Structure 1
Amino acid sequence: MADNALGRFLRARREATTPPDTTRRRTPGLRRGELADRAGISVEYLTRLERGTDRSPSGQILVALAEALAMTADERVHLYRLVKAGHACAPPPPPPLRPTVLATLDALEPAAACVLTPAGDVLACTSTFREISGLNGEQNLVRFAFSADAAAHHPDWDSIADDRAASLRAAADLGDHAAAALAFELSITAGAAFTERYNAVASLPPTSGTERWGSHLLAFETFYLPGEGEYRMRIHFI
């Protein structure tokens, strides 16, 4: 990450935010104290963030600042990327899929089937899944569920969002680092729509049931694959 890019971005957004009164000020936007009050943090801590002496704010702090600054969805994504860039380390690649697993997917056509990591990454899928999933280049079911396109694609979005959050929470609680990292990302980029569901999870996600994808009502079953990676195969029947 460029030197103190996170601090500069936070200060720029603070100075671009309309202050609570219309009196003339020497400096534009919100004062540090005003933003600190809105976000529920101390002025001293906000100062450290803006000056770059603290570059590891928690997800809760970042969400509070994003809300206080009324950040757009794109600005939230940029905020997350700035934090991620400051802690860049390449995750280990997932274990490869066995040829027999790939052959099973081929045999399942025309069902909409896929193989998922615990964090919801799509490692492989059938052509039918690719056609009707609505992912449009996204490779993670959980991230897609909290994207701008998800509600239009899923008529029962509330239920699906609950299930995706529960799936991610279960994986993160079991120590999956990719799931925990995605939860941190979505707490910033999706905000309360994700965090309220994630924090309220009280049960495991369903392994079978029905979901609506566009005009399709799909019944699904989930099968956990033996071996390294803790992958699961999810099969949707049209």
Structure 2
Amino acid sequence: MADNALGRFLRARREATTPPATGRRRTPGLRRGELADRAGISVEYLTRLERGTDRSPSGQVLSALADALTMTADERVHLYRLIKAGTTCSPPPPPPLRPTVRAMLDTLEPAAAAVLSPAGDVLASTARFREVSGLDDERNLIRFAFSPRAKAHYPDWDQVAHDRATTLRAAADLGDHTAAALAFELSVTAGAAFSDRYDAASSLPPAIGTERWGSHLLAFETLYLAGEGEHRLMIYFSQH
């Protein structure tokens, strides 16, 4: 990350945010105290963030600042990328799938099926899954559920969002570093829509059930793959 890029971005957004109508002001935008009050943090902490003496805010703090500054979805993503650019390590990539697992997927055509990592990464899938999932260039089922396109794709979005957040929380609680990193990302980019569900998760994710994807009503079954690091095979069947 460029020197204090996060601090400069936060200050620029603060100064560009319309302040409350309280008469003439000597400075543009919000004062630090006003933003700190809105975000529920101290003025001293906000000052450290803007000056670059603290460059590791939590996801909750970043989400609160994004809400207080009424950031757009693109600005939230940029805020997260500024934090990510300042880190020196990232979760390791998942190991390659066994050839037999890929062969099993081939036998499931034309059903919609995919092998998912604990953090929701689509590691392999059938053509039918790619057709109905709506993911396009996105390769993570959980991240997609909290993207701007998700509500149009999932008629029952609230339940889907709950289940995806529950899935991610279960993986993160078991020590999956990729899941924890994605939870941090979504707490910033999706804000309360994700964080409220993630923080409230108190059950295991459903292994069977139904979901609506666009005009398709799909029943799903979950099979965990032995020796594949908690990877799971999700199979979706059309319901008529």
Secondary structure, counterpart of 2:93 in structure 1: coil
Distance 2:175 2:166 in 1: 14
Q: How large is the Cα RMSD of the aligned pairs? A: 1.0
Q: Which residue of 1 aligns with 2:180?
A: 180
Distance 1:93 1:170 in 2: 19
Aligned residues: 238
In the TM superposition, 1:75-86 aligns within 5 A as: 75-86=75-86
Can you list the C-alpha shifts for 1:85-106, whole angstroms capped at 9, x where unaligned? Answer: 1113243221110000000000
In the TM superposition, 1:120-159 aligns within 5 A as: 120-159=120-159
Q: Which residue of 2 aligns with 1:20?
A: 20
State the TM-score, normalized to the length of structure 2.
Answer: 0.97
Distance 2:136 2:22 in 1: 45
Q: Which residue of 2 aligns with 1:226?
A: 226
Can you list the C-alpha shifts for 1:130-177, whole angstroms capped at 9, x where unaligned? Answer: 011001110001000111111111111111111111100000000000
* 1:65 equivalenced with 2:48 (yes/no): no
Distance 2:37 2:24 in 1: 21
Secondary structure, counterpart of 1:24 in structure 2: coil
Distance 1:46 1:12 in 2: 13
Secondary structure, counterpart of 1:124 in structure 2: strand
In the TM superposition, 1:69-218 aligns within 5 A as: 69-218=69-218
Q: Which residue of 2 aligns with 1:6?
A: 6
- Bigger drift between 19-28 and 162-171 goes to 19-28
Per-residue deviation at 1:237?
1.0
Can you list the C-alpha shifts for 1:22-61, whole angstroms capped at 9, x where unaligned? Answer: 5222221111111111111111111110010000011111
Q: In structure 1, what residue type is equivalent to 2:41?
A: I
- Bigger drift between 100-109 and 150-159 goes to 150-159
Q: Which residue of 2 aligns with 1:32?
A: 32
Q: In structure 2, what residue type is equivalent to 1:27?
A: T
Q: Which runs of 5+ in 1 are unaligned?
A: none
Distance 1:37 1:159 in 2: 33
Q: In structure 2, what residue type is equivalent to 1:91?
A: P
Distance 2:91 2:40 in 1: 33
- Bigger drift between 115-124 and 65-74 goes to 65-74
Contact 2:97/2:228, CA 8 A, preserved across alignment: no
Q: In structure 2, what residue type is equivalent to 1:235?
A: I
**Identity over the aligned pairs, expressed in percent?**
80
Runs ≥4 residues deviating over 4 A: none
Change over 3 Å in CA distance of 1:137–1:5 after alignment to 2: same
Distance 1:29 1:137 in 2: 37
Q: Which residue of 1 aligns with 2:44?
A: 44
